[in-house]
């Protein structure tokens, strides 16, 4: 059912991933079709796989007053917040609206669990106790990254983590939009932060879903994901009556559940299709209005097949699509936020990024999959994020002017 249009403006946004720190490096890498995946050299991991590691993450030092939040995930969050003048933009919004009228909605799947993994290596040999310098609440706990973001930015309004696996930081846009529509807040910091840890590397390995090569979305020979890490943020505000030229707007969000299986998608991508349909309905747009789809495109056999069915059922081969996970890896709980920023860059810079690493498109997946960059002037794009537990979210972003 269509909602009254309630567009939000992405007043400011930024992303940090293995492609680089901030928008300029991210855009340069996409233009140059330069990926950031490399053979895994993270911690003591002994899996033959590629990862998208953000260089220098562990060199980040949290301000002394927030030392209790120190862990890789919050270091990455801070690194991300410090790019592109994002902190200053939030400070201005807080001054405009009041700090209690700015909400914080962050998506993450594993938050600071690496801190607990490391602490378990240092258990007391006699009592089994964890080391005294381990702070569960401000590091491991799922909320830690939103709590840190809220404290660091000096915001005092509602704050929450959305943690629904790989749809997390797409769904934050929906929660923030609803809370703004209801009048509880006037602005929101939304985003996604997920960092490398052993739980996800060995966990996806246990499911046989990790590729030993840099992942190849929609390739006939695709054989699994490459895990990445990222911090991506956007400042959302009510769109002005007359948005400025080039303003990026959130026009629609679709959220569904598969009700099918814990770790496999619905084989026909039914939940995914419904999510895209809902996003278009909320925006009051039709399939013909969509100029590009940033696919979830994880490069597992079943995920790409199910998503291709969903996209083909709605769009046929008419809409250029790609997955940017060949470049960034699958950043899990940060993927929705990161790919929303990729879509915002596509809208502002007229660049439809072709997927990299894909050598031979799978002929069984009947969609218009881009393997080269395309210069275009997209007005409306979709960004898909789906996850474990059968959770689906599709964002519809548009360009004003």
Tell me whether residue 368 is one of the annotated catalytic residues.
no
Minimum distance from residue 152 beta carbon to other proteins (Å): 14
The residues, ordered by sequence, that sit 6+ positions from 74 with a Cβ below 8 Å of its Cβ are: 62, 66, 112, 139, 144, 145, 148, 193
How many whole angstroms separate alpha carbon 300 and alpha carbon 315? 22
**Candidates 152, 330, 380, 393; catalytic one:** 330
Smallest separation, CB 143 to other proteins (Å) = 4
To the query of whether residue 197 is one of the catalytic residues in this protein, the response is: no
192 or 271: CB nearest other proteins? 271
Q: For residue 334, what are its two tokens?
A: 């940060």
As measured in angstroms, the least distance from the Cβ of 377 to other proteins is 32
Cα–Cα separations (whole angstroms), residue 133 to 29, 67, 142: 39, 11, 19
Nearer to other proteins, 60 or 179 (CB): 179
Q: Which is nearer to other proteins, 46 or 375 (CB)?
A: 46
Whether 261 is a known active-site residue: answer: no
Minimum distance from CB of 292 to other proteins (Å)?
A: 24
Catalytic pick among 152, 296, 321, 393:
296
Element (H, E) at 114: helix 113-120
Closest-CA residue to 386 (of 269, 268, 231, 290): 269
Distances (CA, A) of 212 to 49, 205, 223: 4, 10, 8
Rounded Cα distance, 250 and 398, in Å: 6
Q: 356-392: b or e for each residue (b if 16 or more CB lie within 10 Å)? A: bbbeebbeebebbbbbebeeeebbbbbbbbbbbebbb
Smallest separation (angstroms) from other proteins to the CB of 76: 18
Query: 38 or 160: whose CB is closer to other proteins?
Result: 160
* Region class of 75: left (phi > 0), else alpha (psi between -120 and 50), else beta: alpha
Residue closer to other proteins (CB basis): 183 or 245: 183
Q: Which two tokens stand for residue 64?
A: 């002394």
Annotated catalytic residue: which of 166, 215, 321, 393? 166
By annotation, the residues acting in catalysis are 166, 296, 330
């Amino acid at each position: 059912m269509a909602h009254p249009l309630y567009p939000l403006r992405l007043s400011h946004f930024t992303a940090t991933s293995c492609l680089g720190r901030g928008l300029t490096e991210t855009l340069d890498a996409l233009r140059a079709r330069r990926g950031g995946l490399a053979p895994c050299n993270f911690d003591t991991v002994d899996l033959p796989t590629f990862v998208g590691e953000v260089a220098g993450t562990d060199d980040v030092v949290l301000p002394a007053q927030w030392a209790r939040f120190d862990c890789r995930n919050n270091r990455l969050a801070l690194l991300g917040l410090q790019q592109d003048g994002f902190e200053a933009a939030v400070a201005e919004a807080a001054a405009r609206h009041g700090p209690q009228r700015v909400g914080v909605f962050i998506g993450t799947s594993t938050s600071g669990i690496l801190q607990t993994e490391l602490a378990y290596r240092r258990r007391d040999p006699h009592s089994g106790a964890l080391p005294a310098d381990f702070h569960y609440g401000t590091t491991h706990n799922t909320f830690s990254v939103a709590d840190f973001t809220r404290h660091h930015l000096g915001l005092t309004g509602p704050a929450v983590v959305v943690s629904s696996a790989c749809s997390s930081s797409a769904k934050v846009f929906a929660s923030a939009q609803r809370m703004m529509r209801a009048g509880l807040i006037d602005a929101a910091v939304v985003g996604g932060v997920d960092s490398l840890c052993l739980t996800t590397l060995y966990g996806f390995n246990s499911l046989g879903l990790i590729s030993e090569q840099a992942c190849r979305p929609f390739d006939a020979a695709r054989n699994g994901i490459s895990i990445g890490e990222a911090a991506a943020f956007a400042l959302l505000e009510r769109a002005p009556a007359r948005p400025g030229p080039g303003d990026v707007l959130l026009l629609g969000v679709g959220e569904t559940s598969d009700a099918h299986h814990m770790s496999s998608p619905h084989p026909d991508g039914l939940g995914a299709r419904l999510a895209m349909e809902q996003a278009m309905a909320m925006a009051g747009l039709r399939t013909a209005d969509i100029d590009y789809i940033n696919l979830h495109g994880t490069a597992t056999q079943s995920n790409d097949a199910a998503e291709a069915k969903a996209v083909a059922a709605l769009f046929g081969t008419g809409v250029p699509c790609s997955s940017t996970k060949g470049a960034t890896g699958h950043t899990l709980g940060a993927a929705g936020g990161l790919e929303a920023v990729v879509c915002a860059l596509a809208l502002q810079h007229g660049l439809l990024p072709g997927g990299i690493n894909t050598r031979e498109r799978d002929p069984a997946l009947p969609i218009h999959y881009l393997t080269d960059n395309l210069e275009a002037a997209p007005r409306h794009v979709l960004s898909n994020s789906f996850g474990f537990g059968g959770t689906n979210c599709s964002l519809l972003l548009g360009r004003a002017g």
